[in-house]
């Protein structure tokens, strides 16, 4: 596939970008839908929102609106603020669960011929992707920067993908495509979303490891930001984490002193963002490989969703193995088939991984937590993580054990 091709010279890169830019233009121009149906991965992050805003800005030039469906309400506090203050007011992104409750999802799907997947190309981390395609066979276009996963969209018949891993974020990829189409926005909301998308996806990457696409896109967006937008971005970057999240990180750090790798179970949490937060904090404190798990209980209207959520970080020699480990250890079994629910990427020397396993909705939460975590723990042990120390919390009742 073209997207997997590694570009050697900057001329190659420019040609590839122009080829993809032309492809994007054709996709939008040839789609008969007045409102383009889009999807992103579960739990909106700044990058997904930046990609959606950039895409919607470009679609407007063809007289088209965009409706983007996402799943699960919770994400990082910074993303929540960007969503509430910049994205939600324009109504482009809608929560799939709410559409379902109002009975509107079927209607939207019935009106569409085409589906655009942004910042995801995997069936396993986008709840509504398999849901929508299961209801109606749609033409599928995808713009992504993640490497091909276990359940990749490329396997879906009639799909077409713009995949550029070197972009390091979907917002960066869209920015480069818009530039190549002479369609860079001056609209401040779109620019803020694009900037925040690139910022959040590269937050752990030292600028020395930025690709030229990332450096260029930051420069293009920054040059168009007005002073008040810059101030807003500075403010957004300093969005505080809830105080109780710090306690999770402190507790996780209590046990490992001499170990260089740790596996942590946080017990039952109400926001899955805690898991990535703790993983980042551990790495910042000098732990070189960490895997953090939590059981997220989220409420949307009358529904309760329960997922085993995991985040992995590594900046030592184990980094190259971590994404594969996540793909192997975090899975579900369905109809006798193993379906992976985890993966990750390596940038420079840093591996960042995530997993999300939906659990049975009718369960004894604590019992299920212990069963699932013990199962994954054994699999992680079998994988020989170096010098690991396992720390687990037995749910909200403070029962803590080191295993
Ligand atoms: Mn992304």
The band of 2, judged by pLDDT with boundaries at 50, 70 and 90, is very low
**Residue 250 contacts residue 274 (beta carbons within 8 Å):** no
**195, 212, 237 — which closes off a domain?**
237
Residues 199, 93 share a domain: yes
CA 77 to ligand 1 center in whole angstroms: 16
**Domain harbouring 354, CATH code:** 3.30.930
- CA atoms of 126 and 381, how far apart (whole Å): 29
Q: pLDDT tens digits for 156-208?
A: 888 999 999 999 999 999 999 999 999 999 999 999 999 999 999 998 888 99
CA 50 to ligand 1 center in whole angstroms: 9
Residues 252, 221 share a domain: no
CA 398 to ligand 1 center in whole angstroms: 34
What local confidence, expressed as pLDDT, does residue 157 receive? 85
- CA atoms of 270 and 332, how far apart (whole Å): 22
CA 394 to ligand 1 center in whole angstroms: 32
Q: Share the mean pLDDT of the chain.
A: 89
**220, 237, 254 — which closes off a domain?**
237
Query: Does pLDDT of 315 surpass 60?
Result: yes
Query: Does pLDDT of 57 surpass 90?
Result: yes
Q: pLDDT tens digits for 114-132?
A: 999 999 988 877 889 989 9
Cβ–Cβ contacts within 10 Å for residue 61, how many?
13
CA 10 to ligand 1 center in whole angstroms: 23
Q: pLDDT tens digits for 365-395?
A: 788 888 888 889 888 888 888 778 888 876 5
Residue from 30, 29, 36, 93 nearest 61 by CA: 29
What local confidence, expressed as pLDDT, does residue 304 receive? 83
Please give, one letter per residue, the 3-state secondary structure of 275-316.
HHHHHHHHHHCCCCEEEEEEEEEEEECCEEEEEEEEEEEECC
CA 211 to ligand 1 center in whole angstroms: 15
- CA atoms of 183 and 247, how far apart (whole Å): 46
CA 176 to ligand 1 center in whole angstroms: 15
Determine if residue 243 is left, alpha or beta; phi over 0 gives left, psi from -120 to 50 gives alpha, anything else beta.
alpha
What local confidence, expressed as pLDDT, does residue 190 receive? 98
Q: How many domains does the chain fold into?
A: 2
Residue from 315, 321, 331, 312 nearest 264 by CA: 312
pLDDT average, residue stretch 67-94? 93
- CA atoms of 193 and 66, how far apart (whole Å): 16
Residues 336, 314 share a domain: yes
CA 20 to ligand 1 center in whole angstroms: 18
CA 183 to ligand 1 center in whole angstroms: 21
Residues 169, 78 share a domain: yes
Residues 249, 150 share a domain: no
- CA atoms of 313 and 351, how far apart (whole Å): 6
CA 126 to ligand 1 center in whole angstroms: 13
CA 354 to ligand 1 center in whole angstroms: 12
β-pair type (261-269, 289-300):
parallel
DSSP category for residue 396: G
Residues 286, 260 share a domain: yes
Residues 78, 183 share a domain: yes
DSSP run (H or E) holding 268: strand 261-269
Tokens 């369609």 correspond to what residue? 183
CA 317 to ligand 1 center in whole angstroms: 24
Q: Which two tokens stand for residue 213?
A: 């696409």
Phi (first) and psi of residue 36, to 5 degrees: -80, 130
Residues 171, 218 share a domain: yes
- CA atoms of 205 and 329, how far apart (whole Å): 25
- CA atoms of 168 and 403, how far apart (whole Å): 36
Residue from 296, 353, 305, 362 nearest 328 by CA: 353
CA 203 to ligand 1 center in whole angstroms: 12
Residues 268, 125 share a domain: no
CA 78 to ligand 1 center in whole angstroms: 15
Query: Does pLDDT of 258 surpass 80?
Result: no
Q: Which two tokens stand for residue 142?
A: 């995808």
CA 254 to ligand 1 center in whole angstroms: 32
Residues 180, 34 share a domain: yes
Give residue 143's domain range. 2-237
Which range among 7-11, 57-61, 144-148 shows the weakest confidence by mean pLDDT?
A: 7-11
CA 366 to ligand 1 center in whole angstroms: 32
Q: Where are the beta strands (DSSP E) in 126-250?
A: 139-144, 159-163
CA 200 to ligand 1 center in whole angstroms: 8
- CA atoms of 21 and 19, how far apart (whole Å): 5
What local confidence, expressed as pLDDT, does residue 396 receive? 56
DSSP category for residue 272: T
Residues 185, 224 share a domain: yes
Cβ–Cβ contacts within 10 Å for residue 105, how many?
20
CA 70 to ligand 1 center in whole angstroms: 14
**237, 267, 298 — which closes off a domain?**
237
Q: Which residues have beta carbons under 5 A from ligand 1 (an ion)?
A: 47, 119, 170, 201
CA 146 to ligand 1 center in whole angstroms: 7
**Residue 78 contacts residue 239 (beta carbons within 8 Å):** yes
CA 356 to ligand 1 center in whole angstroms: 16
Q: pLDDT tens digits for 198-256?
A: 999 998 888 998 999 999 999 999 999 999 999 999 999 999 999 989 989 988 887 66
- CA atoms of 55 and 93, how far apart (whole Å): 12
**Domain harbouring 91, CATH code:** 3.90.1640.10
Q: pLDDT tens digits for 259-310?
A: 678 899 998 898 899 999 999 999 998 899 999 999 998 887 777 888 999 9
Residues 251, 213 share a domain: no
What local confidence, expressed as pLDDT, does residue 278 receive? 95
- CA atoms of 260 and 17, how far apart (whole Å): 41
- CA atoms of 55 and 118, how far apart (whole Å): 9
CA 53 to ligand 1 center in whole angstroms: 13
């Amino acid at each position: 596939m073209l997207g997997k091709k590694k570009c050697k010279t900057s001329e190659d890169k420019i040609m590839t970008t122009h080829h993809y830019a032309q492809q994007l233009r054709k996709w939008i121009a040839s789609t008969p839908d007045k409102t383009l149906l889009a999807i992103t991965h579960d739990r909106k992050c700044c990058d997904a929102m930046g990609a959606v805003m950039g895409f919607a800005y470009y679609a407007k030039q063809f007289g088209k609106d965009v409706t983007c469906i996402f799943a699960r309400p919770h994400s990082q506090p910074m993303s929540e603020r960007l969503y509430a203050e910049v994205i939600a007011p324009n109504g482009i992104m809608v929560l799939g669960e709410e559409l379902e409750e109002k009975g509107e999802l079927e209607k939207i799907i019935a009106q569409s011929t085409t589906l655009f997947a942004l910042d995801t190309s995997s069936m396993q981390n986008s709840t509504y992707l398999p849901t929508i395609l299961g209801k109606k066979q749609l033409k599928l276009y995808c713009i992504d920067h993640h490497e091909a996963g276990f359940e990749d969209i490329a396997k879906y018949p009639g799909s077409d993908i713009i995949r550029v891993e070197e972009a390091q974020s979907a917002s960066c990829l869209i920015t480069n495509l818009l530039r190549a189409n002479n369609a860079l926005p001056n609209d401040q909301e779109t620019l803020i979303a694009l900037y925040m998308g690139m910022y959040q996806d590269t937050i752990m990457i030292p600028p020395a490891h930025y690709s030229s696409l990332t450096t260029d896109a930051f420069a293009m967006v920054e040059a168009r930001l007005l002073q008040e937008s810059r101030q807003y971005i500075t403010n957004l970057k300093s969005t505080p984490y809830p105080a109780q999240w710090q306690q999770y990180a402190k507790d996780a750090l209590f046990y490992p002193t001499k170990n260089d790798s740790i596996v942590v179970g946080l017990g039952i949490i109400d926001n899955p963002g805690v898991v990535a937060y703790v993983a980042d904090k551990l790495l910042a404190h000098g732990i070189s490989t960490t895997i953090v798990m939590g059981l997220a209980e989220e409420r949307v209207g009358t529904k309760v969703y329960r997922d085993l959520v995991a985040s992995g970080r590594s900046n030592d020699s184990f980094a190259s193995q971590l994404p594969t480990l996540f793909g192997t250890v975090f899975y579900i079994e369905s109809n006798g088939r193993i379906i992976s629910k985890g993966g990750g990427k390596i940038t420079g020397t840093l591996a960042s991984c995530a997993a999300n396993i939906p659990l049975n909705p009718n369960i004894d939460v604590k019992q299920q937590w212990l069963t699932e975590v013990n199962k994954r723990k054994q699999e992680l042990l079998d994988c020989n993580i170096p010098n690991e120390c396992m720390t687990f919390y037995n749910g909200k009742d403070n029962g803590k054990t080191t295993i």
